[in-house]
Each structure stands twice: as structure tokens, then as C-alpha cells.
Amino acid sequence: MKNTIKHEINAHIDLVNSLHDLNKLILQCAQLCIDCINNGGKILLFGNGGSASDAQHIAAELVGRYKIDRKSLSALALNTDTSIITSISNDFGYEHVFARQIEGLAKNGDIAIGISTSGKSKNVTNALKIASKLNCKTIGLTGNYDDEMKKNCDINIAIASNDTARIQEMHILIGHIICQLIDQECS
């Protein structure tokens, strides 16, 4: 058991250290979000499973507060409204659950952030395609896969791992870093 704990911690630390290679992309994502907020836009986040939790977590940090008291910022996790999710899934299919919401809620200048460890979630890629058509900036958070999401993102941050747990840990760290940068510029 001790070996497992040590292995998991070391795997996490190694992957955190690899994030330094992504500094430029993280900064670009933060700047897109800052510009969006300063121009009166909103940030729409979405994902499935653990990625849904990350989307909801990041939206909460923006609407509520991250580290400092500041005005509430316009952010929404699209995976939280069960009535919308189930009605769209029933009427159009689960692959359209986020795209329909983007179609109804997004406007030119908003940001759509799709989160998928595999990068293969059809509902996430469909939403990013619609967001692009609506002139939203699109950001993807993925793992180390040759995925469809990359094709549909202005910026895609791919974590250099195939381990879902490690990818999710990096996604929330990146989300927190972006929230910190937003706090510094939008307070």
C-alpha cells in the first residue's frame, strides 16, 4: 500500500512539473477569459463525469469568488440543469446536450470551455463546433490523445498523460491558475 501511495504522489508531481511547458497556453486561455469578461461576455463550461465536476467547480470560483472578494463574474456550467439535460437528451440525443445550450445561450465574444479527458466526447465536440460558428472563442482541456477536440478549439491544452485521474488533477490545477489570473485582472 505504501508503494501505491508513493507512486501516485510521484506521478502527480511529475505531471505537475510538465505543466511548465504549457505556461504560454495557460496564459493565452486566461487572457481570452479576461478579455471576454471585460467586454461583458460570459464563460460557458461543460464536460461529462469528473470533467462535469471540474466545469461546475471553475464556474463556481468565477461566479462566487476564488481567492479575493470581487464582483461576480459571468460563468455557467452547462452540465448542471437536469431538466435541460434530460429534455435535450430525450428529444435530440445526448450528443447534442451541450450544443443546444450553446446555441441558446452563447453570443459573439463569449468563451466556450469544453473539458474531456479523452477528447472524444461527442457532446463536447459538438458544442465546440456550434460555439465556433457563433464566433465564440473555444478552449479545450484534454489528455494526451490525438482527438477531435483539437480541431474545434482556438486553444487546446492537452495534458501529457493517458491516466484519467492525473489528467483531471491537472485540469483543475489549470482551472485554478486561470481563476487566479482572472482575479488579478478583473477585481
**What's residue 33's pLDDT?**
98
Domain total for the chain?
Answer: 1
Q: What is the dihedral of CA 21, 24, 29, 34, to 10 degrees?
A: 140
- Among 64, 130, 69, 63, which Cα is nearest to 101's? 130
Cα 109 to Cα 13, 89, 133: the distances in Å are 36, 27, 11
Q: What is the pLDDT along the chain (187 residues), one digit of tens a residue?
A: 889 999 999 999 999 999 999 999 999 999 999 999 999 999 999 999 999 999 999 999 999 999 999 999 999 999 999 999 999 999 999 999 999 999 999 999 999 999 999 999 999 999 999 999 999 999 999 998 767 788 899 999 999 999 999 999 999 999 999 999 999 998 7
| Environment class of 100 (CB within 10 Å of its CB; exposed 0-12, middle 13-18, buried 19+) | buried
**What's residue 146's pLDDT?**
67
- Among 103, 41, 31, which Cα is nearest to 75's? 41
**What's residue 145's pLDDT?**
77
Question: Going edge to edge, which strands form the sheet with 43-47?
Answer: 75-77, 43-47, 111-115, 137-142, 155-158
pTM over 0.85: yes
Domain that holds residue 21: 2-185
CATH value at residue 149: 3.40.50.10490
**What's residue 176's pLDDT?**
98
Contact 97, 81 (CB under 8 A): no
Instruction: Look up residue 134 and give its DSSP letter.
Output: T
